Structure 1
Amino acid sequence: MIRTGQPILQRVRATGRLSVKYSAGKTRLDRLFQEGAAKIRFPAPESEALEAVLINTAGGLTGGDRVAWTVEAAPETRLTLTTQACEKIYRAGSGHAGVAVSITAGTRARIAWLPQETILFDRSALRRRLDIELAEGSEALLLEATIFGRRAMGEVVGEALFHDRWRVRVDGRLIHAEDFRIGPDIAGQLGSPVVASGGRAVATLLMTGDGAEGLLEPARAIIGTNGGASFWRIGPTGKLLARLVATDGYALRAQLIPLVGLLNGQAGLPKIWTS
């Protein structure tokens, strides 16, 4: 029987799971699963630290698309996670795009979640979720950067919906939670002096661990007047939180490069950021 009406559109389903272990002085791949549009690649040989590049082969997301990444870092491991390119969120005819990231880290592990920027287009809709479970004594550096239309490309985001949800726990104790929601009047809200004063690009970085406090003043020097940074302790856990606002993605990246280089220590920037 021939049916008329709205076509049934194919949706992106991407699931990637990765675990690493520490063996013979190196962080090594333990298990890898990839399904649908999800692919994971390793640009350099296994070493004391390992870098993984997450890829959405669909080339972007729209309403109804779903991407999920799950990562387990065993005790003593060093792992940096990034993305192959900026994730693009296109106009949604209905529903929303969903991106979920779940990361666990064992004792004395160090993980860095450093995806490249997410770019929202006009009338897009995105719900993004970041869930982090850390063991006592582990460290994490977490970044999410979002661009509301690329100024150089003449893109303007008038209406969209964006919800960014973070939950970070250490030994089951919640140390950081935030829910950032904006829309549907993106242009009007970003123009407010208490939101972005007309800026189109924003970023949040969270660093946990004993070394975070000593990096507060150098981080503030990099950020300048384009955001702010603070440090405090929740129980024995120290955390440094930084927020940046920029006129466009180019200006935001210019600040993120030195800031991530500072906070990520010897691991530095993901290789793909400068390739």
Structure 2
Amino acid sequence: MQRASGESRVTFDLRDGKTRLGDLYQRDPCRVLFPKPELGEPPQAVMITTSGGVTGGDALRMSVEIGPGAEAVATTQAAEKIYRASRGSVACTIDVDVRVAEGATLDWLPQETIVFEGSRLKRRTVAEVVEGGSLLACEMVVLGRGASGERFASGLLLDAWSVRRPGRLAWTDTLRVEGETPDGAGFGTANALATVIGVWDAPQPHFEKARALLEAADAVRAGVTVVNGIMVARLLGEATAVRHATIRFLTEFRGRRLPRVWHV
């Protein structure tokens, strides 16, 4: 069966005092759109998958790089759907690489990934942030289509994160779900998990702001900590509640609305 092998790479640089597109590469089914940002906001890159979803054997790579002093926002056009894999199929793979240079700022804010019953996904996100760079990143995964009464009872989700600072690995984390949602790992009846990470040279003020916002969160379980200088926040619960809580948190934490594609 035909499988997709797509890639997108986008680079932003600071030129003449403004953040501008520096480089772009895209190969089907990966594409990048550049909507006009709101007045006073940085440029946006919107990642899309023209195939309409991902299934067993597909391989996608996405890369976002922000040059010294530049500022940008990267997101996705809609929720990414991971379809049921055919019998005997290998897992689909999604590799995300994020690089933030000195004095640069990136908000990596993709919309949720919906992992259908019977699907198999291996996703790896690697962020490299040099001293003086700032990164706010969010990933949300939904296990099964709860609105349709579907549970994630078979399949594989292997979702790995890592953050590198100059010359060292600062933080790494992997979620593995194979078969039933892991009640023993604290999921309970929840079918969605959002992870928000922040990388700054001085994380404490950001941590305190995030903690105050998450203490007021309702309808979800939420918490935040700092590990090796990396802020890590989690929101766990029913998919719609987690999405709404994540939107509220990110909007208040950033002090600006999320990209318009989040509200379509």
TM over 0.5: yes
Separation in structure 2 between the aligned mates of residue 17 and residue 271 of structure 1, nearest angstrom: 22
What is the TM-score of this pair, normalised by structure 1? 0.88
Q: How far off is 1:152 after superposition?
A: 1.6
Residue 263 of structure 1 corresponds to 253
Q: CA deviation at 1:193?
A: 5.0
Matches of 1:82 and 1:48 in 2, distance apart? 14
Instruction: State the Cα deviation string for residues 69-97 of structure 1 (Å, max 9, x = none).
Output: 11211011111111111111111121001
Distance verdict in 2 for CA 1:201–1:124, change over 3 Å = same
- Matched residue type, 1:169: R
| Inter-partner Cα distance in structure 1 for 2:208 and 2:19 | 26
% identical equivalent positions: 34
Moved over 6 A (4+): none
Aligned in 2, Cα 1:48/1:84: closer, same or farther, shift over 3 Å?
closer
- Looking at structure 2, the residues matched to 48 and 135 of structure 1 have their Cα atoms a distance apart, in angstroms, of 23
For residues 113-147 of structure 1, the C-alpha deviation after alignment (integer angstroms, 9 at most, x for no partner) is 11100001111000000011111011111111011
Larger Rg: 1
Q: Distance in 1 between matches of 2:207 and 2:174?
A: 24
Q: Is the 8 A contact 2:197 2:233 kept in 1?
A: yes
Counterpart in the other structure of 1:82: 75
Instruction: State the superposition RMSD in angstroms.
Output: 1.8
Q: In structure 1, the residue corresponding to 2:231 is in which secondary structure?
A: strand
Q: What is the aligned counterpart of 1:161 among 156, 160, 165?
A: 156
Say whether residues 1:218 and 2:212 are aligned partners: yes
Give yes or no for the alignment of 1:109 onto 2:101: no
1:43 pairs with 35, 50, 56, which one? 35
- Deviation of the 1:48 alpha carbon: 5.8
8 Å CA contact 1:119–1:147 kept in 2: the answer is yes
- Aligned amino acid, residue 3 of structure 2: R
Tell whether the 8 Å contact from 1:64 to 1:95 is kept in structure 2 after alignment: yes
Q: Which residue of 1 aligns with 2:54?
A: 61
Equivalent runs, 1:71-220 vs 2, <5 Å? 71-93=64-86, 94-183=89-178, 185-187=179-181, 189=182, 192-209=183-200, 210=202, 211-220=205-214
- The unaligned stretches of length 5 or more in structure 1 are 1-8
- How many residue pairs align between the two structures? 257
Structure 2 partner of 1:20: 12
TM-score for both structures, normalised by structure 2: 0.91
Q: 2:180 corresponds to which letter in structure 1?
A: I
Q: Which amino acid aligns with 1:12?
A: A
Unaligned runs of 5+ in 2: none
Amino acid aligned to 1:228: G
Deviation at 1:214, TM superposition (A): 3.5
Structure-1 separation of matches of 2:12 and 2:41: 12
With 125-134 and 40-49 compared, the bigger mean Cα shift is at 40-49
From 12, 20, 29, give the equivalent of 2:21: 29
Report the Cα offset of residue 45 of structure 1. Answer: 5.2
In structure 2, distance between residues paired with 1:222 and 1:140? 24
CA distance in structure 1 between the aligned counterparts of 2:139 and 2:95, rounded to whole angstroms: 13
State the alpha-carbon separation in 1 of the partners of residues 119 and 148 from structure 2: 17
Shift of 1:203: 1.1
Q: Distance in 2 between matches of 1:152 and 1:45?
A: 33
